[in-house]
Chains A and B, each alone.
Chain A
Amino acid sequence: MSNLIPKRVKYRKQQRGKMKGNATRGNYVAFGDYGLQSLEVCWVSGRQLEAGRIAAQHFLRRQGKVFIRVFPDKPISKKPLETRMGTGKADVDFWAARIKPGTVLFEIAGVPEDLAKQAFARIANKMPVRCRFVGRRLAV
């Protein structure tokens, strides 16, 4: 299974950081007709995103287009098991996307609403957060 990682980065490792508040960007459906919105804070790994994409595409059987709205650009390091503390920061274990409440994770275009809901239910099972189904918001 191919994994989502950046092509190039400025620094090999990052500090953990904090995720306070709600998403103020990427919090509405922009490309597709329907979206899957996160309701919690988390790191979503590239592997989880890929699992979600595959689950949706297998269900939709190439009927619709699936958009992934987040990208795992944060390196998460992890020390190996049974290792003593110290000796510097550990190697990168996986790459994660920072998710805040309101972030739209996936979008689907070109399918009816009921089919999109079923596809998103399959994606939501692969996500480490509670999610909800959203449509496009009002525009004036």
Chain B
Amino acid sequence: MSKETPVLVAKKREKLGTRYSRRLRAAGQLPCNLYGHGSAPVAISVEEHATLYALKHGAHVLALKFDDGSTDTVLVKDLQFGFLGDNVIHMDLARVNLDEVVTVKVHLSFIGTPEAAKKPGAIVTHDMPEIEVTCKVRDIPEEIKTDLSHMEGEMLTVGQLKMPAGVTAASDANAAVIRVQFMKEEAAAGEAAAPAAGAAPEVLTAKKEEGADAKK
């Protein structure tokens, strides 16, 4: 949390269910569920625009301010997506302390071009756009920046990433984050492996039919 925690105005939801959630969304609110720390789960709603703005800028921790003046620090645990799979329609929030250790996904951002990618036919593929990290809630970074200009070889693994202080990677250390691939060889291999036009696939049940015909 290099910047200040975004503060959102939250309202308790009295009426629950699809119909009322849809009305809330139409009114620019985002339905959420708040749970954790032994307290009973609460159905709330927050302002959609401000929430999405915060999430798009890498916020994981939000400060909720209720009508009655009470506040809560929460961690975004899950997002539910709606029609076409990219609009957020619901959010799960967990109450947290700033000194609690949690595992979250953090966006990776890259600067520069690897040396290997300057060769002809090379492309850089991002195998892991987000990385799972374990850290205290107060230490959750908005993003992890990596300079690719010093990258050695054709692959950057999780173990080679420079993590901010207090943050450790929870993903497999040998997993590839960035790979430099050469398209010319790959395209040639793909064309050779593709079946010829007009070829028919093998039918697994074809033999049984022949056996049944012979019995008749």
Residues of A bordering B, CB below 8 Å: 1-12, 22-23, 27-28, 33, 37, 39, 57, 62-65, 92, 101-102, 109-111, 134, 136-140
A8 & B204 in contact (Cβ 8 Å cutoff): yes
Q: Smallest Cβ distance from A4 to chain B, in angstroms?
A: 7
| Docked CA distance A55–B7 (Å) | 47
Let me know if B197 is at the binding interface, CB within 8 A: yes
Contact A37 B194 (CB under 8 A): no
- A138 to B30 Cα, complex, angstroms: 15
Given the contacts A28-B81, A139-B105, A140-B79, A63 and B201 also touching, CB distance less than 8 Å = no
Cα A11 to Cα B76 with chains together (Å): 46
Of residues 158 through 216 on chain B, the ones whose CB sits less than 8 Å from some CB of chain A are 181, 183-184, 187, 191, 194-206
Cross-chain contact B187 with A11 (CB below 8 angstroms): no
**Stretch in B10-18, B31-39, B83-91, B147-155 touching the partner:** B83-91
Cross-chain pairs A/B with CB under 8 angstroms, 19 sampled: A2-B197, A3-B196, A4-B194, A5-B199, A5-B200, A7-B202, A8-B202, A11-B203, A33-B129, A37-B84, A62-B187, A65-B183, A101-B83, A102-B84, A109-B123, A136-B129, A138-B79, A140-B55, A140-B77
Q: For residues 106 through 158 of chain B, which have their beta carbon under 8 Å from a beta carbon of chain A?
A: 107, 121, 123-126, 129-130
Complex Cα distance, B125 from A109, in Å, reads 6
Inter-chain CA distance A101–B130, complex, in Å, is 26
Contact A140 B76, CB 8 Å, known A9-B202, A65-B181: yes
B76 touches A2 (CB 8 A): no
Partner pick for B203 among A3, A9, A64, A140, CB 8 A cutoff: A9
- How far apart sit A92 and B196, CA to CA, in the bound complex (Å)? 16
Main secondary structure of the interface of B (DSSP, over half): mixed
For residue B56, CB closer than 8 A to chain A, the reply is: yes
Q: A12-B206, A110-B123, A140-B55 are in contact. Are A27 and B181 (CB under 8 A)?
A: no
Chain A residue nearest to B81 in the complex (CB): A137
Shortest Cβ distance from B83 into A: residue: A22
- The 6 lowest CB-CB distance pairs between A and B, nearest first, are A27-B85, A2-B194, A110-B123, A8-B202, A62-B183, A28-B85
In the assembled complex, which residues on chain A have CB atoms less than 8 Å from the CB atom of B107? Answer: 139
Q: A12-B206, A138-B88 are in contact. List 13 more A-B contacts (CB 8 A).
A: A2-B191, A2-B197, A6-B201, A9-B203, A10-B204, A11-B203, A27-B84, A37-B84, A63-B183, A109-B123, A109-B126, A110-B181, A111-B123
Give every chain B residue within 8 A of A111 (Cβ-Cβ): 123
Flag whether B44 is at the interface (Cβ < 8 A): no
